[in-house]
Amino acid sequence: MNFFDFHHHQPENKFGIYNLRFGEAVPDHFFSAGIHPDSISENIEEQFSWLNEISKQKNCVAIGECGLDGLIDVEEKLQESVFERQIAIANAIGKPIIIHCVKRFSQLIHFKKKSKVPMIVHGFNKRKTIGDDLLQHDFFLSFGKSVLHNVNLQDFLKDFPIEKIFLETDSADFELKDLYEKVAELKNLNLQEFRLKITENLRFLNIIAENEEKLA
C-alpha cells in the first residue's frame, strides 16, 4: 500500500511531492518548486527565472515551499515581495501553493486574498485558534510527524474537515503509514477509506498520479 507524501525532501520517494531544490535536475515524478524565505539571497532573479521555467513542467504540481518566516534574518518586506511574486506565478499557471509559515500567520491570511489558487500550509502543528482561523480563510493544512505525539493537535484534527487534510513526512524520519493510521483512527475511518479521501483531496488540487492504481 502506498501513502501519498504531500511534502517531502527525499528524491528517491516517487509517491508524493518532492520539494525540488534550486538548480536540481527535474525528476520523473511529482515535485514542487519554489523559493523558500530562507534561500532569498543575491541571486534571487536567477532563482525566479529558474522558477518561471520549471513551474511549467507537467510534473511540477505546486509552487513552494514558499512563504513567510518570522524567525530568520531576512527582511520582512523582502520576504513578502518574494512571496507575492510566487503567488502571481501560481495564479498564472493555475497550480496550488505549498506554504512555509513561521510566526507570520496573520500576514499570511492577508496574502491569501491575492491568491486565485488553493493554498496549503505544510507542517501544521500550531494551536487550534490558528488552525481555525486558517480554515475560515479556506486554507488546506498538511500535517506531519507532530500528530503522532501531540495530543492537542490530535484533538484539533478530530474536528478539522477531512476535505482539507494532507499528510507529509517533510524532513522527518518516520513511517508515513503510522501517520495515516493515526489520522484515519481520529476520523473514525478505516485506512483504505481514509486514503481514498486523501486521493479526492489531491484530485481537487489537480494532482493525479499517472498510475491511478497507486492511489486507489
Binding site for Zn ion (CB under 5 A): 170
Asked if residue 65 has a cis previous peptide bond (ω within 30° of 0), the answer is yes
Residue closer to Zn ion (CB basis): 145 or 164: 145
Q: Is 65 annotated as a binding residue?
A: yes
The Cα 140–Cα 131 span in angstroms is: 10
Q: Is 8 annotated as a binding residue?
A: no
Task: Give the shortest CB-24-to-Zn ion separation in angstroms.
Answer: 14
Task: Give the shortest CB-67-to-Zn ion separation in angstroms.
Answer: 11
DSSP state, 170?
B
Q: Is 178 annotated as a binding residue?
A: no
Residue 208: how many CB atoms within 10 A of its CB?
13
Asked if residues 173 and 13 have their Cβ atoms less than 8 Å apart, the reply is: no
Query: Which residues make Cβ contacts (< 8 Å) with residue 88, sequence separation at least 6?
Result: none
Nearest to 64 by CA among 95, 26, 106, 29: 95
Asked if residues 147 and 154 have their Cβ atoms less than 8 Å apart, the reply is: yes
Task: Give the shortest CB-46-to-Zn ion separation in angstroms.
Answer: 22
Nearest to 137 by CA among 182, 85, 189, 101: 101
Q: In Å, how far from its chain's centre is CA 114?
A: 18
Q: Which residue is nearest to Zn ion (CB)?
A: 170
Task: Give the shortest CB-20-to-Zn ion separation in angstroms.
Answer: 11
Residue closer to Zn ion (CB basis): 37 or 184: 37
Task: Give the shortest CB-9-to-Zn ion separation in angstroms.
Answer: 6
Binding residue ranges for a divalent metal cation: 65, 100, 122, 170
